Each structure stands twice: as structure tokens, then as C-alpha cells.
Structure 1
């Protein structure tokens, strides 16, 4: 729904910098763009009652992931980074092709924290 070519030039390209001004700190206001939540959880009287809980859980998961893990490109046998394939798979729900990445705990303390969280859920 946010793929309006009049609002977003090249909407299918991953370009987070499009939302920042030249100083790379100030957010650009896009007049006709809606927040992702308005599309994912419905509109008006049909809005999902779990919208706020889902949004908070997404934030907690993202914050925990970024605080405890280093995520980067996978490397081959010679140590050269493997570039991900940025093409999408066709279908009713469009999603990117699977790609390899390297995920490591930022520290032994972060690894222990993640293990403890997994044990609490299991």
C-alpha cells in the first residue's frame, strides 16, 4: 500500500536513507505515507484488538536482537563476504529469497542472557 510511485521513487528498493535529509539525522516527512501499523492491523471498526500488544512485542524483540547480537553478511571459505540475493519470490505474498547471514552474540554475557530467555519460553 506504500508503493505509490508519486510518493516513493523506486518503492521496491531497500533505501532507508530515503527517510533522512542530507544531514542524515533529520527525518523526511512524507505527506501521503501511512505508518505500517495502519495497513497490517486493519482500519476503522475492523481494527485488530491486539495491535498495541503486537507493536510492543515487535519493539522488544527488535531491541533485544540489536542489543545482544551482531548480524552481518555470511562469508565463504576464503573469508569473502557473500552478497545476498535481493530478488523476490513470486506469489500471493511477495517475499525475498532466502539468504545466508552471520549471527553472533555480542559478548558471553549477551549469549547467557539469550540462553536464559530461551529457557524461560520453553
Structure 2
């Protein structure tokens, strides 16, 4: 949201329109916040946490697209290659949640959750819990907070310096920003939620 304030604004507008401003989003609101779902899908596609999948070993000889894969071979899936596949995603290196909206509102592209959670018998058993946890966190954070760059001494917004690790798992390196309540109504929602 720091790198794409226009996306943050659009997601907040959807939350305000659907949920209004008198409560926090709940999981039951999931189906009503379609743009927010697109933001989540795009976040996972754009920078997958595991860019190179966990190695697996074949249990039998196999053939894939005419290539022989012997029993015992180690297979490593290129998740990043799949999420940045130019035959499935237009301009894949760009962050564009609208790509997942149906036409004519968006590009009508289809998210591929299996590239994030694995494949076949070894697919992540916790993927539904993970999806729901990420979705509700995003919904509630965007409902009440604005995430903005820091300001310099003259009060101008500074360009955010956001970088990612290049290890087996991919994470955002520490960065500075402002995360503040959107307004007084949001501040009261935060206070009331902390008292529950």
C-alpha cells in the first residue's frame, strides 16, 4: 500500500461503501469486497513468499512434455516463474490488482493460488486458514489505517525505499513509513476493538 497509494485508496473506498464506517470488516464480508480480494491475490502473485518451491523427490519414473524424469529425482518448482508468466499475466512485474476483476472492469485474468501454496498431495494444508488470516488482516488494517511515506523536513512525502530479501523465502526488509488512523472515526473503532 505504501508503494501503491492509489490501490490503498480504492480498497478503502470499497470498504467504506460496503461496510460503512461504523464497524470493522468481518470474514462474512469476504464475498462483498471483491477489489480487496484482488489486492490480496495480486500481493501473493507479485511477490510470492516462496519464489522457488520446496524441493520434492519423485517416487516413480515419470514423463513430462516428452522429458524423462527418473525415480528419485529432485524437482524444484519455480513459483516466481509461474506468477510472472507473461502468457497468463499481462505486464507481470507490475502490481495491478485490477487484473483479476472480470471484464470490462478489469483484465479478467485468473489468480493461481496453487503457485503460492504448492501442488498435488503436498499442497499446504493450512492454505484456507492462511488466506482467511491474510484477508481479515488486510481488510481491518485498510479499514482504519492510512499507510503513507514519511515526510521530509519541508513536509514533502519521501519516496519509500522498500526492498525484498533474496533468500529461500522472500520478505520485505525493514522500512520506514507512517501508519496512522485514517480519521477520528477510525481511531474510535481501533479503541473499541482493543476493548473487546
> In the alignment, what sits opposite 2:83?
2
TM-score, normalisation: structure 2: 0.46
User: Are the aligned partners of 1:85 and 1:97 in contact in 2 as well (CA < 8 Å)?
Assistant: no
> In the alignment, what sits opposite 2:186?
110
> In the alignment, what sits opposite 1:76?
152
Give the direction of change, closer, same or farther, for the CA distance of 1:2–1:62 in structure 2 (3 Å limit).
same
For residues 151 and 161 of structure 2, the distance between their equivalents in structure 1, rounded to whole angstroms, comes to 14
Q: What is the number of residues matched between the two proteins?
A: 114
For residues 90 and 54 of structure 1, the distance between their equivalents in structure 2, rounded to whole angstroms, comes to 22
User: Are the aligned partners of 2:100 and 2:111 in contact in 1 as well (CA < 8 Å)?
Assistant: no
Superposed counterparts of 1:35-50, under 5 Å: 35=112, 37-50=113-126
Superposed counterparts of 1:4-83, under 5 Å: 4-8=85-89, 11-12=92-93, 14-16=94-96, 19=99, 26-30=105-109, 34-35=111-112, 37-83=113-159
Give the direction of change, closer, same or farther, for the CA distance of 1:56–1:96 in structure 2 (3 Å limit).
closer
Greater Cα radius of gyration, structure 1 or 2: 2
For residues 79 and 51 of structure 1, the distance between their equivalents in structure 2, rounded to whole angstroms, comes to 42
For residues 162 and 87 of structure 2, the distance between their equivalents in structure 1, rounded to whole angstroms, comes to 23
Find runs of 4+ consecutive structure 1 residues off by over 6 angstroms: none
Question: Any stretches of 5+ residues in structure 2 without a counterpart?
Answer: 1-81
For residues 81 and 52 of structure 1, the distance between their equivalents in structure 2, rounded to whole angstroms, comes to 37
Show CA shifts across 1:69-90 (max 9, x none): 0111110121111101355444
TM-score, normalisation: structure 1: 0.67
User: Greater helix share, 1 or 2?
Assistant: 2
Question: Any stretches of 5+ residues in structure 1 without a counterpart?
Answer: none
